[in-house]
Amino acid sequence: MSRRKSRKQIFEHVEVIDAGAKGKTIAKAPDGKVIFLPNAVPGDVIDVQTFKKRKAYYEGKAITFHKLSDKRTAPICEHFGTCGGCKWQDMAYEHQLFYKQKEVTNNLTRIGHVELPEVTPILGASNQYFYRNKMEFSFSDSRWLTVDEIQSDEDLGNRNALGFHIPGMWDKILDVKKCHLQADPSNAIRNAVKQFAIDNGLDFFNTRNQTGLLRTMMIRTSSTGDIMVLIQFFKDDKTRREQLLDYLAETFSEITSLQYVINEKANDTIYDQEVVCYKGSDHIFEEMEGLRFKINAKSFYQTNSDQAFELYKITRDFAGLTGNELVYDLYTGTGTIAQFVAKRAKRVVGVEAVPDAIAAAKENAQLNDIKNVEFFVGDMKHVFNSDFIATHGQPDIIITDPPRDGMHKDVVEQILNIAPKKVVYVSCNSATQARDLALMDGMYKITKTQAVDMFPQTHHVENVVLLEKR
């Protein structure tokens, strides 16, 4: 049944039947069109109000719940539903894993049209909360207000916030009291910084007006016990900057790397900015199977250390190394996978487009005394060519771990030209992975596939595929 109100359509007593891409759940309208929903769980029976209509689907939200799904669980975070993260926190973990596995399998078969072997069940995370080793928070002098606060006549006091961007609103920040993604002392540090700044009159940033002192804060933790805190200031105010940094150093002696950035440009990215080490070291260390990785403020490192270890073990196992192979690691980043597999390979060659990442990879290889790895920088579709192969050797195995967009078609073509015995394809986006696999299907068959849950409470999922020559 459906009715119209204020030009928005309402469908009544609709059952939510599936979970789809980007974390949305799916229902069917009476006219047969799909409805994508942000606030329901498969199994719910709801009334839906649509806010967008397209030729093949609607977008809407649940406005009334007639029956709650048995797949539901109570969200543990007070910010659930407002914060943009952890959108699946109201779905029990075993069901999150089910829908992640289903999405990967559907993408490989429907987009890639590839034949799959028996699918290995998805590897869930042992820690469903407090698993992230890096969090970034934003300061704001005009925090996001709830509907109740807006309608209230009460004095709301200061509007300062330290937390996350409201989804789709670049200038609105949700003030976070407790986040369940990063282990202690992350929450204690964030809350202490906010309170100290308020008590001492340190100005919070205003994105629209480009005013204020405090801009962002990043906290990185590691399995070795190291803690990095980086404060980004909008202007150079030495007295107030040192006031805050000294307070942090005195209050949280466990901080091993205390750094800051003065960023006066319009956006808050730090990758083109000078990072200044105020106290301690300018880096922290992560450790994995005896390997140590030096991580600075700008380094990329998998944000779930425990599951990264599992992902790398699966990648290495899929490669089936005997110690005699030349391995190419494409999109090597800071060379973590390359170094992880090196002790079971004859030689590993890593290629990456980001110069800073390659510099870090070389430094970490030296730190770990790994002598059978080489790293090269360049745009993959240009550097990874026949001259490169002629110089560095014909690989027996290629490991590739591209960004969300997948591999450039020229890179896929070059892999097919090289025709290694095996390709291990690690992906954070099974849709683009499926597209690439379709291009390789004539030469390679999929012999193993394994999804890995790196980000519990979200729809994101990694997938590893082993390709062997037909």
Which residues participate in catalysis according to the annotation? 428
Length of the chain: 470
CA distance 134 to 285: 13
CB atoms within 10 A of CB 69: 21
CA-nearest of 370, 466, 351, 362 to 420 is 466
HSE, side-chain direction, 13 A CA sphere, residue 41: 24
Strand partners, 140: 161
Contact 462, 428 (CB under 8 A): yes
CB 205 within 8 A of CB 211: yes
Of 302, 301, 294, nearest to 367 by C-alpha is 294
Q: How many CB atoms neighbour CB 7 within 10 A?
A: 6
